[in-house]
Amino acid sequence: MADFTRYSSGPAPEWIQFEKTWKRPASPAAATLEERRDLANARTAKLFADVLSRPDAGLDVADFDIPTTNGVRIPIRLYKPHQGSSSPLDTQVGLPLYISFHGGGYHLGSLETEDPFCRQIALSTGAVVLNVNYRHTPAWTFPAPVDDAWSAFSWVAANGALHGIDLERIFVGGVSAGASLAISVARRALGQHDASIPRVRGLVLGTPSTVHPDHFPVELLQGSRSSLETNADAPFLNTAIIRSFLDLYKPDPTDPNVSPLLLPSTEFLGLCPVSLHIAGLDPLRDEGLLMEEKLRAAGVETTLHVYPGVPHAFMSLPTLPSAQKWRAGMQQDLRGWME
Q: Known catalytic residues?
A: 176, 282, 312
DSSP code string of 143-187: THHHHHHHHHHHHHHHHGGGGTEEEEEEEEEEETHHHHHHHHHHH
Whole-number Å distance between alpha carbons of 134 and 101: 8
Q: C-alpha 51: how far from its chain's center?
A: 20
Rg (CA), the chain: 19
In total, the chain counts a number of residues equal to: 339
Whole-number Å distance between alpha carbons of 330 and 295: 18
How many Cα atoms within 13 Å fall on the side-chain side of residue 173?
Answer: 26
Contact 287, 229 (CB under 8 A): no
